[in-house]
Structures are given as structure tokens and as C-alpha cells.
Amino acid sequence: MSTLTLKDGTEIYYKDWGKGQTLFFHHGWPLSSDDWDAQLFFFLEQGYRVIAHDRRGHGRSEQTPYGHNMDTYASDVAEIVEALDLKDVIHVGHSTGGGEVIRYVAKHGNGRVAKAVLVSAVTPIMVQNENNPNGVPISVFDDIRNNTAKHRSQFFIDITFPFYGYNREGANVSEGVQRNWWRQGMNGSIKAHYDCVKAFSETDFTEDLKSVDVPVLVMHGEDDQIVPFETTGKVAATLLKNGKLISYPGFPHGMPTTEAETINKDLLAFFKS
């Protein structure tokens, strides 16, 4: 089991498999590196070195009560990258992990980053405010916080339906996928999950997106019920200096799992381009 003790004493769990160019995967809320199974296995077999960590307070990393904000998440990644002396890295982030990726690349990339990918990402900002009138009302995030604090076990079952589009007519519902989501979530810290809601919903990544020079692929499902495409992925792509957008009609928020074959094919093409 690979772990790294950060400068503040927090122990971070990570997977590091294979050789070749490094792909670094960043998971979404409230999951763990296991959420990238379909990608880690595929790209390992394609000859890449694949790395994925459990964010502080999530999965098998230490359940520290502190540091659950985007600046700390990004600096944690920087410590891992520097400890492993990674260079020419492609960073791939899903949902909250997309925010983590763009904040890391903007603030800590230091010439170590080759490309980045934002998958169903929370960028540029999710919450509705005077600068983002079409965003998601704060009441939605208050409800997520309330359910996380008081009904987490049941809530982590219920949320899998919109997460994977399982509430759509004709959906092929996988109980195994739902149980795996629940397992990952319940392995993490309730405190980390509660605090992370603010981090993924209220952090403004606009300036991060504008400042990044490396090629960035934005991938987003048009039927994303968790992170609405029209106000996130569609907008984020316009703020990037060297961005490319692929949107997927009918694909849900959890498309790296439910639509892994398509997502992996498009990721591979971008990695090789």
C-alpha cells in the first residue's frame, strides 16, 4: 500500500502502476481513486504509468478534519507530484477532481504538466450568484450538506440515480455500480464530505482556466444532472487558451463508468494528439 505523509502530517493513499508517460487521475466527491478503475486498468494496458490518489479525508487517506478546500487539495497534489518527481504529466479530473486539476495546473504546474482533462467538471463555478446568475441555487448545496450530515448512508444510495442517469426511462441500472459508489463514499470522512460541498460548489475557477497554457480537453455529458453542462463544461471551454470541448448527448455525470468505452477512446486520442 503506497502512502505519502504530507508536510502537515496528513497521510495520503495513492496507486502508482506501470511505466511510460504518467497519467494522474483525480476523483470526484465523495469517492476515491477506485472510481477510476475503468480508466486505470485500460490505460495501464495501453503502456501508460497511471497514478490516482484518495483526496484527504476520502477513501483510504487520513480522515483529517482540516484542509478541505481547493487550495489545499491542489497543494496536496503538488506534494505528491514533487515527491514522485513526476514530469510531462497528463492530469485527468472528474467533477470535483476537475476543479482540483485546474487549480493545481494553474498554481503549481511549474513546467511538469503536459496536458489536462476536465471530465464532468465543476469549473468554472457551480453556485448561483450575481456573477453567475444561471448557476445552481445555494439551496441545492445546502440540501446536499444536510443529507450528508444527517442521512449520509441513505443519501449515498439515493444520489446514484441522478449521478448515473439511472432515473431516466430505459436506463440499464447496475446495482453493483451503485453499491460500489456507496462503498467508496462511506469509506470516507463525514467531515471531509461535508466541507467539500463548499469547495466544489463555491470555488471560482475562472482565472485558473484563463491562465492555463497547456492543452485542455473538456468532456461533459449533456444530460449531466449533477453538474449541469450549460453552465459548467460549455462555459469552461470558452475560457481556456488552448481548450477543446467534447459534449455527449444523453451521457450522465458518471459517464467514465457507464460510458467507459467511449470516454477511454476519446481520452486516448487526446493523449496521443
Rg (the chain; Cα; Å): 17
Q: Which three cell numbers stand for residue 12?
A: 495520503
Q: Which of 120, 74, 132 is nearest to 93 (CA)?
A: 120
Task: Give the active site residue among 53, 58, 193, 253.
Answer: 253
CA distance 113 to 80: 14
Contact 57, 18 (CB under 8 A): no
Task: Give the active site residue among 34, 76, 195, 224.
Answer: 224
61 annotated active-site: no
Whether a cis peptide bond, with omega within 30° of 0, leads into 228 is no
253 annotated active-site: yes
Alpha helix (H) residue ranges in the chain: 37-45, 70-83, 96-108, 138-158, 160-163, 175-187, 190-202, 206-211, 233-239, 255-258, 260-272
For the stretch 265-273, contacts whose Cβ atoms lie closer than 8 Å and that sit 24 or more positions apart, written own/partner, are 266/217, 266/219, 267/39, 267/43, 267/92, 267/117, 267/217, 267/219, 268/43, 268/46, 270/115, 270/117, 270/215, 270/217, 270/244, 271/21, 271/23, 271/48, 271/90, 271/115, 273/215
Task: Give the active site residue among 33, 61, 95, 201.
Answer: 95
Q: Which three cell numbers stand for residue 84?
A: 514522485
Whether a cis peptide bond, with omega within 30° of 0, leads into 30 is yes
Measuring CA to CA, how many Å separate 95 from each of 13, 23, 124?
Answer: 20, 17, 11
Question: What positions carry a catalytic annotation?
Answer: 95, 224, 253
